[in-house]
Amino acid sequence: MFATLREKSWLNSPSATASGGFNSEISRKTVALRFFLAVISVLFSLFIVTFLARSQFPDFQALAGQAWQPFTNPQQLWVNTGILLAASVAIQFASSSAKNNRLLAANIAIALCGLFTLAFIGAQILVWQHLIDLGYFVASNPANSYFYLFTAIHGLHLVGGIFVLLRLGLRSTAQTQNSLIISTSLCANYWHYLLLVWVLLFALLTSTPDTYKTLAALCGF
């Protein structure tokens, strides 16, 4: 407060004013993104808690643990994780390129992030189709239902991110460097967060019944 009172605003240079506006804008948008991610975290946390509680009922059959269960060998899910990791790396490269004023590299990286994200969603749909072919329908087992629920909600958040990327790519040439830096940095944070969420879901959905029992006991179920 005292530092603010001692400021001589009539001596502030235009560059200092611009820097202050930039910092203010990125702070405001960062707070908004963090609030949104907090809401998503609460949503997934509630679903995970109900999943663990449901896993202790007799009709719950885990999707991994025995040789005949589909996720005992989750090779396809590992491939999907690699695709999403590539999308996260691409958008991080776009953020770095924007900071270095490399517009073409940033645009290419944004496009690659979108393509990798679409590939991940398509690969997840293929996993759905594989489960259906094996007879693991939505309503045939609570574990199935939660798998479809988790992956669908996660995929919808990625679809929303793709629309933001598309808008960012179309407007990138008209944006100032500062604006592009803010946009790509926020997108990078969003993609890193969704990658982390997917890794946690991956670990949860491919766990064994003994793991579910331990986690449920820790949660008081």
Binned at pLDDT 50, 70 and 90, residue 21 comes out as low
What pLDDT is attached to residue 109? Answer: 96
Coil, helix or strand at residue 84: helix
- The answer to whether 33 touches 189, Cβ cutoff 8 Å, is yes
Q: What range defines the domain where residue 87 resides?
A: 75-208
Look at residue 12 and tell me if it is in a domain: no
**What kind and span of H or E run contains 202?**
helix 177-205
In a domain, 5, yes or no: no
pTM value?
A: 0.88
Q: Give 94-162 as a 3 state SS string.
A: HHHHHHCCCHHHHHHHHHHHHHHHHHHHHHHHHHHHHHHHCCCCCCCCHHHHHHHHHHHHHHHHHHHHH
Q: Is residue 42, in this structure, part of any structural domain at all?
A: no
pLDDT tens column, 41-85: 999 999 999 999 999 999 999 999 999 999 999 999 999 999 999
With respect to residue 122, please indicate whether it lies within any of the assigned structural domains: yes
Residue 135: which of 124, 126, 144 has the closest Cα? 144
Residue 144 lies in a domain: yes
Nearest-10 Cα torsion for 61, 66, 67, 69: 10
Number of domains in the chain: 1
Is residue 98 a contact partner of residue 181, using CB atoms and an 8 Å limit? yes
Residues in the chain: 221
- Confirm if 186 and 160 have CB atoms less than 8 A apart: no
64 part of a folded domain = no
In a domain, 166, yes or no: yes
Q: 25 or 133: which carries more pLDDT confidence?
A: 133
Of 110, 85, 83, the C-alpha closest to 97 is 110
Tell me the pLDDT of the chain averaged across its residues: 89
Residue with the two structure tokens 């604006």: 179
Is 138 in contact with 73 (CB distance < 8 Å)? Answer: no
d(CA 90, CA 97): 10
Answer yes or no: is pLDDT of 17 > 60. Answer: no
Question: For position 91, which CATH number holds?
Answer: 1.20.120.80
b/e code 69-81 from CB counts within 10 Å (16+ = b):
bbbeebeebeebb
Determine, yes or no, domain membership for 48.
no
